[in-house]
């Protein structure tokens, strides 16, 4: 029905509708205003898909110890993940804190999406694996929100991922988009249904194929799903839905106090997080 409705629109009007969809869904760019002070960091530039480059902070840890790619969420940047840097580095981990394309200080691209976050994570992993401190070391992923969903997507298709910490991943892209449309008072028929169709066509992936509630079934490495109990952007039921689709006992669920933007009250749970990573990555 939504496609029939779209086909009846004059081409110029349909172009305007599509342009409006892309503009309204574009991520807000927030550039870093702070740095990983007190840590042995350096700024690096990492090649990614489409000839673009990613801004990142590399914080080397103990030689041979596990290394982590840390990815922010939609509209975020590496600075927003800095609360994790000091404790993870103190635990010995090397960290690569990345800005996805169209975010922070990374290059622009034609659009951003969860699959493109995943592409950026995979290119970051390749770069990290070549660093002297991380040679032959286990590689883990830490992601928030869209970055968490992208981390699970990468782990579902890349056997080199040794562990994932997912902070506030949503269960299904269609669900979070439906909530966004309700908040914007966009009727599902016919416009909302067309928006879902159009976004899937633009990103080149069906939502069902990339949804964390589905990719978790294909993830073989240990996963810690962390979810804030007061999260109104991604309700706790979404983490429970992902957890219910796990294929083995190596997927754990940690529900804690907190909202979405602070990715749960993670400051009080850093011991649990580092304990999980130490076990999952066999770090003494």
Residue of 169, 170, 144, 145 whose CA lies nearest to 82? 144
* Whole-number average pLDDT of the chain: 93
What's residue 282's pLDDT? 85
Lowest-confidence segment of 12-16, 58-62, 180-184 by average pLDDT:
12-16
Residues 147-160 have pLDDT tens digits of 999 999 999 999 99
Taking the C-alpha atoms of residue 196 and residue 214, their distance in angstroms, rounded to an integer, is: 18
Q: Which domains does the chain have, with CATH numbers?
A: 42-169+207-280 (3.40.50.1820)
Residues 260-271 have pLDDT tens digits of 987 656 777 888
- Residue 233 pLDDT greater than 80, yes or no: yes
Give the residue with greater pLDDT, 258 vs 76: 76
pLDDT classification of 74: cutoffs 50, 70, 90: very high
What number of other Cβ atoms are within 10 A of residue 197's Cβ? 13
- What's the whole-number mean pLDDT along residues 29-47? 97
pLDDT classification of 16: cutoffs 50, 70, 90: confident
- Residue 11 pLDDT greater than 80, yes or no: no
pLDDT classification of 209: cutoffs 50, 70, 90: very high
- What's the whole-number mean pLDDT along residues 190-211? 95
- Residue 8 pLDDT greater than 60, yes or no: no
pLDDT classification of 5: cutoffs 50, 70, 90: low
- What's the whole-number mean pLDDT along residues 4-16? 65
Q: Which residue has the tokens 């090397």?
A: 94
What's residue 237's pLDDT? 97
Report the percentage of the chain scoring pLDDT > 70: 94
Bridge partners of 166? Answer: 143, 225
DSSP string, 8-34: TS-HHHHHHHHHHHHHHHSPPP-----
- What's the whole-number mean pLDDT along residues 168-180? 96
- Residue 1 pLDDT greater than 50, yes or no: no
- Residue 170 pLDDT greater than 80, yes or no: yes
What's residue 15's pLDDT? 76
Q: Which residue has the tokens 């991943």?
A: 169
Token output for 121? 């994570």
């Amino acid at each position: 029905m939504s496609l029939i409705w779209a086909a009846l629109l004059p081409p110029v009007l349909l172009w305007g509708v599509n342009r409006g969809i892309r503009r309204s869904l574009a991520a807000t760019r927030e550039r870093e205003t702070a740095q990983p002070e007190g840590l042995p960091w350096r700024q690096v530039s990492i090649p990614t898909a489409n000839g673009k480059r990613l801004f990142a902070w590399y914080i080397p840890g103990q030689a041979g110890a596990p290394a982590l790619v840390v990815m922010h969420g939609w509209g975020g940047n590496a600075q927003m993940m800095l609360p994790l840097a000091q404790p993870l580095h103190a635990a010995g981990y090397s960290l690569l804190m990345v800005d996805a394309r169209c975010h922070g200080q990374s290059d622009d691209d034609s659009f951003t999406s969860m699959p493109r976050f995943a592409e950026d994570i995979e290119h970051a992993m390749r770069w990290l694996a070549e660093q002297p401190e991380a040679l032959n070391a286990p590689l883990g992923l830490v992601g928030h929100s869209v970055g968490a969903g992208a981390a699970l997507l990468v782990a579902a298709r890349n056997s080199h991922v040794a562990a994932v910490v997912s902070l506030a991943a949503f269960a299904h892209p269609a669900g979070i988009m439906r909530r966004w449309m309700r908040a914007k008072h966009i009727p599902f028929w016919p416009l909302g249904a067309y928006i879902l169709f159009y976004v899937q066509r633009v990103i080149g992936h069906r939502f069902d194929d990339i949804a964390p509630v589905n990719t978790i079934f294909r993830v073989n490495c240990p996963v810690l799903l962390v979810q804030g109990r007061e999260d109104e952007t991604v309700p706790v039921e979404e983490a429970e839905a992902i957890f219910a689709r796990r294929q083995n006992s190596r997927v754990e669920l940690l529900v804690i106090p907190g909202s979405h933007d602070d990715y749960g009250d993670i400051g009080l749970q850093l011991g649990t997080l580092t304990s999980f990573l130490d076990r999952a990555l066999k770090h003494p």
